[in-house]
Amino acid sequence: MTDIAHAKDVYLYDLLKDPVHARSWKAMLSSAKGAPAWVRDENRFIAEPVTMISIDSKDYTITVIAEQHATNDGQAAILFTKDGTHAWAEIQDEKSLKLYLGNPSASQKTALDKVLAE
């Protein structure tokens, strides 16, 4: 029975209800100029379920979002520390060059690149 209780997918929208995740999300978005409006507005993107990954022996959550009604135009990978205190992103948008937010490390960039290539 416990498997059923844990079967519910978690999405970025769910994470952002947590004040810790919301603060790191806002800090990440303000870390660089040029984040597209669709990334900053929860009503303008769709999200895949959050998954857990390990980078350099640390656990993170990662998800991919895409511009709503234009999924071929823009997508972004969003990475949070397991406790939600830090966030990073890679945005690929047809209107601009690849953009990293939150100053991710080389290993974090590799993980963001990989999830967007899948």
CATH number (domain holding residue 37): 3.40.1420.10
Residues 6+ apart with CB under 8 A from 74: 36, 38, 39, 66, 67, 91, 92, 93, 94, 95
Residue 2: inside a domain, yes or no?
Answer: no
pLDDT at 36: 87
Average the pLDDT over 44-49 and give the result. Answer: 92
Q: How confident is the model at residue 71 (pLDDT cuts 50, 70, 90)?
A: low
Q: The domain containing residue 21 runs over which residues? A: 10-117
Query: Is residue 87 a part of any domain in this protein?
Result: yes
The number of distinct structural domains making up the chain is 1
| Residue 5 is assigned to a structural domain of this protein | no
Answer yes or no: is 22 within a domain: yes
| Residue 65, in any domain of the structure | yes
Output phi, psi for 98, to 5 deg. Answer: -55, 135
